[in-house]
Amino acid sequence: MAGKKHSSLDRVLGRLDTLDSVNLANLVQRLARERGVFEEIFNTLQEGVLVIRDDGAIEYANHAAGRLVGLGEDVAGQTLWRLVPGLRNSLGAALDGDGAAPVVAREFELTYPEPRVVRLYMVPFRAQGAGQARRFAVILTDITKERATTERRIESERNSSIVLLAAGVAHELGNPLNSLTIHLQLIERRLKRLKDAREAAALGESLRICRDEVARLDGIISNFLGAIRPQPPDLADTELGALVAEVLHVQHRELEDRGVAVEVEAAPVPAVLADRNQIKQVIFNLTKNAMEAMEPGGSLRIRSRADDDSVYLVFADTGAGIRAEDLGRLFQPYHTTKPGGNGLGLMIAQRIMREHGGQVGIESKEGVGTVVTLQFPRRDRRARMLEG
Residue 300 pLDDT grade (very low, low, confident, very high; cuts 50, 70, 90): very high
pLDDT band at 302 (very low <50, low <70, confident <90, very high): very high
293 class by beta-carbon count within 10 Å (0-12 exposed, 13-18 middle, 19+ buried): buried
Q: 236-387 adopts what CATH topology? A: Heat Shock Protein 90 (3.30.565)
**Confidence at residue 304, expressed as pLDDT on a 0 to 100 scale:** 92
For residue 128, the model assigns a pLDDT of 57
Per-chain mean pLDDT for the chain: 77
- Note the pLDDT of residue 385: 37
Query: At the top level of CATH, which class does the domain 45-142 belong to?
Result: alpha beta
pLDDT given at position 244: 92
Strand partners, 306: 311
* Model confidence at 369: pLDDT above 50: yes
Task: Residue 274: name the closest of 235, 239, 325 by CA.
Answer: 235
Asked whether 309 and 298 are in contact (CB, 8 A), the reply is no
Q: What is the pLDDT of residue 10?
A: 62
Q: Is residue 315's pLDDT more than 90?
A: yes
Q: Where are the domains of the chain?
A: 45-142, 148-228, 236-387
Q: Which pTM was predicted? A: 0.47
What is the C-alpha to C-alpha distance for residues 111 and 118, in angstroms, rounded to an integer? 11
Whether residue 244 contacts residue 282, with contact meaning beta carbons closer than 8 Å, is answered with no
Q: Quick check: bond before 113 cis, omega within 30?
A: yes
Output the pLDDT for position 99.
53
The interaxial angle of helices 345-355 and 276-293, nearest 10 deg, is 150
CATH fold, domain 148-228, is Helix Hairpins (1.10.287)
DSSP E strand stretches across 102-202? 104-110, 116-124, 135-142
Taking the CA of residue 210 as centre, how many other CA atoms within 13 Å lie in the half-sphere pointing to its CB? 17
Question: DSSP letter at 367?
Answer: T
The beta-strand segments (E) located in 66-130 are 104-110, 116-124
pLDDT reported for residue 222? 67
Residue 325 has pLDDT above 80, yes or no: no
Q: What is the pLDDT of residues 148-183, one digit of tens each?
A: 777 777 767 766 776 676 666 776 777 777 778 887
pLDDT > 90: percent of the chain: 9
In eight-state DSSP terms, residue 231 is P
pLDDT in tens, 235-271: 899 999 999 998 898 888 888 888 999 999 877 888 9
Backbone angles phi, psi at 107, to 5 degrees: -125, 135
Q: What is the pLDDT of residue 340?
A: 46
Q: What is the mean pLDDT of residues 349-366?
A: 86
Condensed to tens digits (0 to 9), the pLDDT of residues 65-79 reads 878 877 666 676 788
- Name the more confident of 84 and 243: 243
Interval 367-371 mean pLDDT: 86
pLDDT digits (tens, 9 = 90+) for 97-155: 555 556 778 877 777 777 888 888 888 876 555 566 788 888 888 888 887 777 777 76
pLDDT at 11 over 70: no
